[in-house]
Structure 1
Amino acid sequence: MSTPIPAEPVDVAVVGASIAGCAAAIRFRQQGRRVAIFDKKAMDDRFYKRLCTHFIQPHAVPVLAELGLAHLHEPAWSVPTKAVFVTPGGLVEGPGNYLPGDQDLYALNLERRVLDPALRAAAREQGVRFVDATSVEKLEEDDSGWLLHTHGEAGSGRFRARLVVAADGRRSRLAKELGNPAETHPNERSALFGYFTGITTRPDNRSVFIMNEKDLACVYPLPGGRTQLVLFAEKSRVEGWSGDDKVRRFLDYFDSLPDAPSMAGAVLEDGLLGYTDYPSQIRKPVVGSVPFVGDAALSLDPMSGVGCGFALTSADLLARSFDGRSLAGADPAAGLAEYRQRLEDVILPHAEGICVDSLVEKNEVSRQRMFRTISGNPELSQQYLALTGRMLLPGEFQRMLMRAMMTRRTAPLKL
């Protein structure tokens, strides 16, 4: 069965209804454009991504308010938080907030079971059309834009759009269709995480990140006294954890860390989730006249905690690049060029460091010296938090760190 092409095309067709897709659709709709979202899954309120640690980095939290989701900052829905790092060289906590003078800037522990349905509801309230349970099988471009060939429960169809946005995730079908292969980088850690009750976390709701040898153990406070525990561990450490013994060994690991809360009363809500092989992937942000956002553009080691934040930010950067532009003539090409440049300036500088950190072999003496310098310098500690919150570019932090380490090295001895 084939359905006719609608008389009036949409301005923007977004392929993929997860964080980046919904955020892009909302932002384009706020510009007064006609927008449709296509997704192969049925988008009801029960659907959300489960394999995610949902730590929204502070650089992306303001985007939620711009999308009409400021209410998700409230305690019933999320926990405003700040990172605390327990490092080989000492505690990195930083004074005040993430950045000097900005006391309202924080990270957000916001579960996907809350965020995903809220984003879809916001998109519908804005007037975005959902074409779910429908896959985009093929794209054809002509002088008037794009023709999308689709297939869903009702059969095959065709839709017209002036701009197509690829937001279809890590395994992007559009990337294959358009010839945008992923550049892959190895990740030498596995991950395990679960949701627990019965754990007493810090009274200030800080999220604690404990560096233990080559691992990172994370403790996230959640609404209602719940806690998410996440372990990013060298693969050899956890490869033998299985069966009924798996949860016990997971909790024993956290109990062995002097800076983690006690696991004595911990009760697992459901089974542990995780992955054993998750290499980082980076694609070109634009191929031809199609922009890629979210995991379709770059899907990085989850230990960095940037997945949700980069999804929101890339969608926002794309929409901003088209603000005030038409979707005809030379404007689309100019908007795409601006988006490419914005992504390369704002997001890609972080990707290189994330990919390097996914390789567990590091010089432990150098790490200790670096973190002793950071933890012993309140200003540098705050800048480190800004770096990990993706509000400071790696090159800028590296220059600050080198100056601090040189100063420390050449300081006169106290007699």
Structure 2
Amino acid sequence: MTELPPAALSDDDARALRADFPLLAGSPDLVYLDWGATSQKPAAVLDAERSFLEHGNAAVHRGAHRLASEATLRFEDARATVAAFVGADEEELVWTANATAAINLVAYAIGNASAGRGGAEADRFRLAAGDEIVVTELEHHANLIPWQELAARTGAVLRYIPVDDDGALRMEEAERLIGARTRVVAFSHVSNVLGTIAPVERLVALARAAGALTVLDACQSVPHLPVDVRALGVDFAAFSGHKMLGPTGIGALYGRGELLNALPPFLTGGSMITTVTMEAAEYLPAPQRFEAGTQPVAQAIGLAAAVDYLSAVGMPRIAAHEAAMGEQLASRLAGIDGVRVLGPQPPVPRVGLASFVVDGAHAHDIGQLLDDRGIAVRVGHHCAQPLHRRLGVTASTRASGSLTTTQDELDVLVGGVEAAVRFFGRRA
């Protein structure tokens, strides 16, 4: 990768890093501001996947031959690398297909416990009619619908912490809602629409006082902030490889070791068992008990390479770069007449992301106009319909940057939005 000086990540550093990304290096006029949807991949990640498939491809945890043994070692080394990146032990990291699958794993495993599976160890997870699951009005559908389904299966009640008119969590309502009947509190670390950072410490403290489990959607934080799941105190956390410079088709679930080993499995089949008879089966300890079937070996190795890349750049440097970017996005876009930026305004901290609405124009039209100028953004409800409905809009345009985003790219975006306002203003 490109060698960087020891100073904080600068605009020149971001420009130099762009050369490490083949798609960006080969598209010098592309202003890619859709990192919140999926990240571009540095050559180091592409090379790691390709090298394994060309020279080391084999099934893991199955064969006794040399190739299979080496593949298993690389697969487990990747687990250790990714676990350490988020402050976890390797036994506490489960590979999943993506973050959505990780959250569903927790929800369905709790559902299995509630149906009587898992024995006495699983009693702590069992939900009954009248128990409560608390989420927030900020949630991505992936951290809402699984809990809706779990409530429907168990008779539990789903409640949510509302946001105010600016999109900030109403913590006085959190204090009222999280109580004696609360069994699960699930919330996003960073809003994928607003870019704002949740008060994790306060939410975890409320959940602990109630004896409830905490489930953190860390998709928009792990790629952009230094994250230590143990320091955060959460019980479970989910994140996705493709948002953090890694491959698609892989995500991870962190779970405290004693909890993972007490949860009954979700997917069942080969490679997650110790003994099988025609009548019953016994399961391996975590993480293997949640990894039935053929695993995403090349993707895990690619994700470990992505983690190595992020670590070499330095997550504190990336976070500082993106915090400044997020503040500039929010303030500069809000300064354009006819543009409304969603969420609390600076100095409220955010990652390098801002969603906005242009008066008299649909988000899809804004996205098309920007695309015509070589600017790639996300349009729609960003899998967060309830939040958009609360804020009084059906859709928004989201610009999200990352470690390669430069000042020049932000200038191009702002110029494109100003042109969109003028264009749609004339049409009105």
Q: TM-score, normalised by structure 2?
A: 0.27
Q: Hey, which of these two has a bigger chunk of strand by percent?
A: 1
> How does the TM-score come out when normalised to structure 1?
0.28
More helix by share: 2
